[in-house]
Amino acid sequence: MSLLDFSDEQLERYSRHLVLKEIGGAGQLALLKSKVLVIGAGGLGSPLLMYLAAAGVGTIGIIDDDRVDISNLQRQIIHTTDRIGAAKVDSAEISLSAINPDVRVVKYSDRLTADNAAQIIATYDLVADGCDNFATRLLVSDTCVALGITLVSAALGPFEAHLATFKPHKGDELPCYRCYMPELPGDDQNRTCADTGIIGAVAGVAGSMQALEVVKEITGAGDSLAGKFLIFDALSMRSRLIKLPKDPACPSCGKSVGHV
């Protein structure tokens, strides 16, 4: 496929990408051919999914087993008042198709489990995790490490966001999520926004930055976040980019682990 294969409508739709030397025709083609799996169609997933669809990511998988609740709408901007009670994957598909009919949406209205994770994730080029619990984050990371798939991971607190890219298959010095958090952090693991609260725009900032890093990974624009860790604090409006080294003793991607 080359630039000549773009329809007139696509040349117009993606014109603001095509003029960027960092994206251009080659980058747009890479986006249109890419397959990205998004874990969670909630606070992070809403802006993430909408920007990925708008950017022309060709296939977007969505995993979420939840339904739209009125209390979601304060921040989950992919969903609407008239879709309260609908499955989030169905509501998200309606929004994505309305934004960009080029996108093929694949819906999984299940929870990700140890039984289905490898089968689902293996069909994608890249995974973007915006799920709401640590156990799923570790499962997603371990599966991506085993399959050699890049993971762009974001997480939210009430006034803070964490963002990192994990691709240990691309370099011996690059970490995975377990290099950062080797095991479940005890009884903190079930804290969600239902009990901690959040300003909706904090989810918007974080999910948008996550979408940006996904687009950069696919197109090769700029510097990868792999091996780094971004911490955003909304109350002080400060962000810090720090180094995240590989843990040589990591149980998932460390030297002592024999991968198939």
What is the binding site for another protein (CB under 8 A)?
A: 39-45, 64, 66, 72, 75-76, 129-134, 137, 154-157, 160, 162, 179-186, 188-189, 191-194, 196, 198, 203, 229, 231, 240, 242-250
CB of 150 to another protein, least distance (A): 19
At closest approach, how far in Å is the CB of 68 from another protein?
Answer: 11
- To the nearest whole angstrom, how small is the minimum distance from the Cβ of residue 131 to another protein? 5
Q: Shortest approach of another protein to residue 8 CB, angstroms?
A: 38
Q: Which is nearer to another protein, 101 or 197 (CB)?
A: 197
Rounded-to-integer distance, Cα 176 and Cα 178, Å:
5
1-38 per-residue burial string, b: 16 or more CB within 10 A, e: under 16: eeeeebeeebeebbeebbeeeebbbebbbbbbebbbbb
What's at 110, amino acid-wise? D
Strand partners, 228: 243
User: Interior CA angle at 131 toward 191 and 59, to 5°?
Assistant: 170
Cβ closer to another protein: 88 or 216? 88
At 197, list the tokens: 């609260």
In the bound state with another protein, the residue whose beta carbon lies nearer, of 198 and 218, is 198
Nearest residue (CB) to another protein, 64 versus 217: 64
CB 164 → another protein: shortest distance, Å?
Answer: 10
- In what helix (H) or strand (E) does residue 162 lie, and over which residues does it extend? strand 160-166
Nearest-angstrom CA–CA distance, 58 and 33? 5
Q: How far is the CB of 11 from another protein (least distance, A)?
A: 35
Query: In this complex, which beta carbon is closest to another protein, that of residue 115 or of residue 188?
Result: 188
Whether residue 226 contacts residue 170, with contact meaning beta carbons closer than 8 Å, is answered with yes
SS3 category, 219: helix
Q: Which is nearer to another protein, 76 or 143 (CB)?
A: 76
First-to-last alpha carbon distance for the chain, in angstroms, is 33
- Report d(CA 163, CA 165) in Å as an integer: 7
Token code pair at residue 124: 């994608």
Instruction: State the Cα–Cα distance between residues 151 and 127, nearest whole angstrom.
Output: 5
Q: How far is the CB of 176 from another protein (least distance, A)?
A: 12
Q: Which is nearer to another protein, 30 or 63 (CB)?
A: 63
